[in-house]
Structure 1
Amino acid sequence: MKTPNAKLRHWLERSGMSRGELARRVKTKAQQQNEPHISPDTTRVRCWIAGETPRAPVPDILADVFSDHFGFRVTTYDLGLGEGARSDVALVYNASWTATVKVLADLGRADVDRRKLLSAAPFAAVAGVGPSRDWLMNTLDQDPEPGRRVRLEDVTAVRNMFSTFQHMDIFQGGGSGRLVLAEYVTHHVYPLLRRTHSEDVRRALCEAAAEQTYLLGWMAYDNGEQGTAQRYLIQSLRLAEESKDVPLGAHVLAGMADQATLLGKPAEGRRLAQAGRLGLSKANSPACLADLWCLEARALALLGEKSAAAHAVSQSEQAYEHVDLDNEPDWAAFIDPAYLHGEHANTFRDLDDAPAAEEHARRSIAHAKMQKRARRGAMSQAALAVSHLQRRDLDSAYAAGVRTLSLTKQVTSSRAVEAVQDLQRRMRPFGRHRLVADFNERARELVRAA
């Protein structure tokens, strides 16, 4: 027996529409969306309320009908109709600002209400190519658009919350507080995008919302929710364009590049990083430039381009020499020696250059220890351990591996756990050595707990 859809009944009663009126509006909306075959009647609406789930795209059309009626976004989740078809829509860089706001509302609600379902959404290998191209073209030649009206105090509140959640991510890992941030953004930030505001406030609000959306994507990325992360990052890039903040858009592309490379798509990671660097030709952010060169180096190393990767590392270090944190935005706070040397260590690790990898890993570890950044410390200890393994020094690798385990236990980060699992794989050539067996036993406990 089907369970009655109490949510749909609630929204229908709240609207004051009859079942026949809802059926007529759905038919009209379907025709507007080139779906003329959708023509429900009163009986069909009664079946929906009784618990029958309509086929796509009817759930999304119903959401649009109720949204038009109430003047604010009503999602398929609100109507008790699941995720609809809009999780894939979040992979699209939409030129329409209205459509972008709708997608953000649906994406945020999906993340909050059906997190397990959305976390299983796949990473689309080429989804970043179009958005990076569109952002770059619009960044190099864009004109301000007329805006609407919100208070600056609202924007300030959003910025303050960004600093709080970014600090949580840096020191506790992406899995710590991500869902709380999703709740905050969905219920307090995205609704502001639909309100009226002046042009200067509009740009500030889009910038703040882009920062929050990027952070949501980054935290999902660090927590192993790659499909969710990709969707947030693409929509963050669209918000960044709306804000006219070029360095912020380049920063989002850096995050997309990092994710693509991590997931075994280094050619796409390289293209995304290059698009970000080209966009920065119209702006100035040495920290962002250093990050983009750093991530391009990571991709180049996996592509086997040794000299180009080493050149990119050198360019990253030169760019960072010009960084003045007082002149950099809050989102650039993590782009520091602990981070950059840690990523350079991974670059040289992938190039099988053990001495260079060890040097950068030790520098990163020293900075991370002073800052008490366990996640960065864990990943750099793992890079150090690999450099020892590349020299066949199992004793030193084991010691660094144990430190990796200890630090990983202090954070909620799938990337740190994956670094531990990578160490396990790299220790296999040493067979049944007692140190390998002991490390594997300790690692199993950590992975099981994670």
Structure 2
Amino acid sequence: MKSPNDQLAYWLGRSALSRKELARRVQSKAAEWGQPNIAPNATRVRRWLEGETPRAPIPDVLAGVFSDHFGWRITTYDLGLGEGSSTEAALTYDPSFAATVEVVADLGRADVDRRTFLAAAPFAAVAGVGPSRDWLLNTLDQEPEPGPRVRLEDVSAVKNMFRTFQSMDVLQGGGSGRLVLAEYMNHHVYPLLRRSHDDTVRRALCEAAAEQTYLLGWMAYDNGEHSLAQRYLIQSLRLAEESQNAPLGAHVLAGMADQATLLGNPAEGRRLAQAGRQGLSRADSPACLADLWCLEARALALLDDRVAAARAVVQSERAYARADQVAEPDWAEFIDPAYLHGEHANTMRDLGDSQAAEEHANRSIEHARKQNRARRGAMSHAALAVSHLQRRDLDAAYSAGMRTLRLSGQVKSSRAIEAVQDLQRRMQPFGSNRLVADFNEHARELVAA
């Protein structure tokens, strides 16, 4: 015998809606979402209350109805109807803006309230194919709007918070403060997307929300939570399209490219970076273009295309030479010499060009030190250590490796830890040398901490 759904009964009672009215609103919301065949009645609502599980996508529609009624996000989980489709829906690039708002709001709630469930969700290796294609086609079809961009007070507040959280990520690592950002998005930003506003306000708000959603994805990526990061990035890309900001969308694709390459799919990483560059064909963001060329170089190096990788590095440097950081958006602030030279060092490392890797790593380290950027400093010191190992200079590699450990301990970043572990693997050919043993001992202490 089915157990009554007390959670659904609670929210229905709190709403003071009749069963008939709830059925009517479900039908209206379903039609809004492109599901005109969903037409429940009061009897069906009674069966749901008695414990019958409605077929998909009705749980998500119910969550949307109650969210509209109360003015804050109510999820299928809150209604006693399971996780709904929010986790898988977050991998989908939905043409409906209303549906996108529901998906990203559900994702934010799940990130805070049900992290264990989300952590078990898989990373989909080629989930970026459809979203990147749809973003590119829709971006190239858009005509630029006349007149200056309107900056409303609430949108300005969101953008100011973006700068705060971006600095936190850069200086302390993605694992520091991400849940605070998720809570902020859930309570202050995603609810704004549900309100009515004209097209100009909506574009500005979607731009701000896309920036913040990207940052959530990037911080999750830096903290090793790849399935969650992927879902945030895809939804950020959709919001960026709604904002009609092509450089921002290209920036999101750069993040997706970086993740794909890191997770062992450089061909997909290269394709995503190329899609981003194509999207910039009618817009100009030299910093973003430099990043996309940089990430394409990373992918090409892993694909063992030496000539194309070296050419991509040159293109990246040429693009950045045109950049004016004052004119670039806030999200491009840290696409700078510390970052770019650090990534070029990794490209040259993978190509086996230890001299070029050392040069780029040292330039990155110098800039990172001036900015107190421990995470970037740690990763660039790791690249420097590898360049020394490639020349069989264990003493120099050990010195750079110890600096990697010291800096990695200052941030909460799985990428910094992975750079340490990569160094451990690369030191294995040196056997039981005392320097290797000492480095491994300190590395174990760091990972345990």
Give the CA deviation at 1:249: 0.8
Query: AA paired with 2:138?
Result: N
| Whole-angstrom CA distance in 2 between matches of 1:313 and 1:144 | 31
Matches within 5 A, 1:299-448: 299-448=299-448
Give the CA deviation at 1:84: 1.6
- Residues 109-118 or 265-274, more deviating: 109-118
Give the CA deviation at 1:17: 4.0
Give the CA deviation at 1:77: 3.0
| Whole-angstrom CA distance in 2 between matches of 1:38 and 1:267 | 50
- Residues 10-19 or 99-108, more deviating: 10-19
Query: AA paired with 1:157?
Result: A
Give the CA deviation at 1:30: 8.3
* 1:219 has 2:219 as partner: yes
SS in 2 for 1:327: coil
Query: AA paired with 1:13?
Result: G
| Whole-angstrom CA distance in 2 between matches of 1:20 and 1:131 | 38
Note closer, same or farther for the CA distance 1:433–1:110 as it changes in structure 2 (3 Å cut).
same
Note closer, same or farther for the CA distance 1:321–1:30 as it changes in structure 2 (3 Å cut).
closer
Task: Note the alpha carbon deviations across 1:129-148, whole angstroms, 9 max, x for none.
Answer: 11111111111112589xxx
| Whole-angstrom CA distance in 2 between matches of 1:432 and 1:55 | 61
Structure 2 regions of 5+ residues with no counterpart?
none
Task: Note the alpha carbon deviations across 1:148-175, whole angstroms, 9 max, x for none.
Answer: xx98111010010000000000100001
Structure 1 regions of 5+ residues with no counterpart?
none
Contact 1:24 1:40 in 2 (8 A): no
Note closer, same or farther for the CA distance 1:6–1:405 as it changes in structure 2 (3 Å cut).
farther
SS in 2 for 1:196: coil
Contact 1:23 1:40 in 2 (8 A): no
Contact 2:20 2:42 in 1 (8 A): no
Contact 1:19 1:45 in 2 (8 A): no
Give the CA deviation at 1:237: 0.8
Query: AA paired with 2:315?
Result: Q
| Whole-angstrom CA distance in 2 between matches of 1:411 and 1:279 | 34
Q: Which residue of 2 aligns with 1:110?
A: 110
SS in 2 for 1:326: coil
SS in 2 for 1:258: helix
Contact 1:214 1:236 in 2 (8 A): yes
Query: AA paired with 1:335?
Result: I
Task: Note the alpha carbon deviations across 1:323-352, whole angstroms, 9 max, x for none.
Answer: 111110011011111000000000011111
| Whole-angstrom CA distance in 1 between matches of 2:433 and 2:3 | 58
Contact 2:338 2:364 in 1 (8 A): yes
| Whole-angstrom CA distance in 2 between matches of 1:262 and 1:101 | 29
* 1:83 has 2:83 as partner: yes
| Whole-angstrom CA distance in 1 between matches of 2:311 and 2:186 | 42
Query: AA paired with 1:93?
Result: Y
| Whole-angstrom CA distance in 2 between matches of 1:407 and 1:2 | 56
- Residues 328-337 or 64-73, more deviating: 64-73
Query: AA paired with 1:315?
Result: Q
SS in 2 for 1:74: coil
Query: AA paired with 1:141?
Result: D
Note closer, same or farther for the CA distance 1:127–1:327 as it changes in structure 2 (3 Å cut).
same
Q: Which residue of 2 aligns with 1:280?
A: 280
- Residues 31-40 or 343-352, more deviating: 31-40
| Whole-angstrom CA distance in 1 between matches of 2:398 and 2:6 | 57
| Whole-angstrom CA distance in 2 between matches of 1:223 and 1:193 | 27
SS in 1 for 2:326: helix
Contact 1:26 1:40 in 2 (8 A): no
Q: Which residue of 2 aligns with 1:248?
A: 248
Task: Note the alpha carbon deviations across 1:12-32, whole angstroms, 9 max, x for none.
Answer: 211224568768977998895
Matches within 5 A, 1:34-49: 41=44, 44-48=47-51
- Residues 264-273 or 440-449, more deviating: 440-449
Contact 2:385 2:397 in 1 (8 A): yes
Query: AA paired with 1:101?
Result: V
Give the CA deviation at 1:53: 7.1
TM-score, scaled relative to structure 2 = 0.91
Note closer, same or farther for the CA distance 1:60–1:420 as it changes in structure 2 (3 Å cut).
same
Contact 1:27 1:39 in 2 (8 A): no
Contact 1:77 1:109 in 2 (8 A): no
| Whole-angstrom CA distance in 1 between matches of 2:443 and 2:142 | 51
> What's the C-alpha RMSD, in Å, of the aligned pairs?
2.7
Give the CA deviation at 1:260: 0.6
Give the CA deviation at 1:57: 5.0
- Residues 168-177 or 63-72, more deviating: 63-72
Contact 1:26 1:39 in 2 (8 A): no
| Whole-angstrom CA distance in 2 between matches of 1:239 and 1:46 | 35
Note closer, same or farther for the CA distance 1:30–1:184 as it changes in structure 2 (3 Å cut).
closer
Give the CA deviation at 1:56: 5.6
Give the CA deviation at 1:110: 1.1
Task: Note the alpha carbon deviations across 1:229-283, whole angstroms, 9 max, x for none.
Answer: 1111111111111111111111111111111100111001101111111111101
Give the CA deviation at 1:6: 5.4
Note closer, same or farther for the CA distance 1:351–1:34 as it changes in structure 2 (3 Å cut).
farther
- Residues 278-287 or 72-81, more deviating: 72-81
- Residues 181-190 or 200-209, more deviating: 200-209
Note closer, same or farther for the CA distance 1:340–1:3 as it changes in structure 2 (3 Å cut).
farther
| Whole-angstrom CA distance in 2 between matches of 1:272 and 1:107 | 23
SS in 2 for 1:325: coil
| Whole-angstrom CA distance in 2 between matches of 1:20 and 1:122 | 39
Give the CA deviation at 1:2: 11
Note closer, same or farther for the CA distance 1:266–1:40 as it changes in structure 2 (3 Å cut).
farther
Give the CA deviation at 1:7: 3.8
Note closer, same or farther for the CA distance 1:403–1:40 as it changes in structure 2 (3 Å cut).
farther
- Residues 182-191 or 10-19, more deviating: 10-19
Query: AA paired with 1:415?
Result: R
| Whole-angstrom CA distance in 2 between matches of 1:437 and 1:135 | 50
| Whole-angstrom CA distance in 1 between matches of 2:177 and 2:242 | 27
Contact 2:9 2:49 in 1 (8 A): no
| Whole-angstrom CA distance in 2 between matches of 1:448 and 1:237 | 36
Query: AA paired with 1:131?
Result: P
Q: Sequence identity, in percent? A: 76
Note closer, same or farther for the CA distance 1:140–1:120 as it changes in structure 2 (3 Å cut).
same
- Residues 313-322 or 150-159, more deviating: 150-159
Note closer, same or farther for the CA distance 1:243–1:41 as it changes in structure 2 (3 Å cut).
closer
Q: Which residue of 2 aligns with 1:160?
A: 160
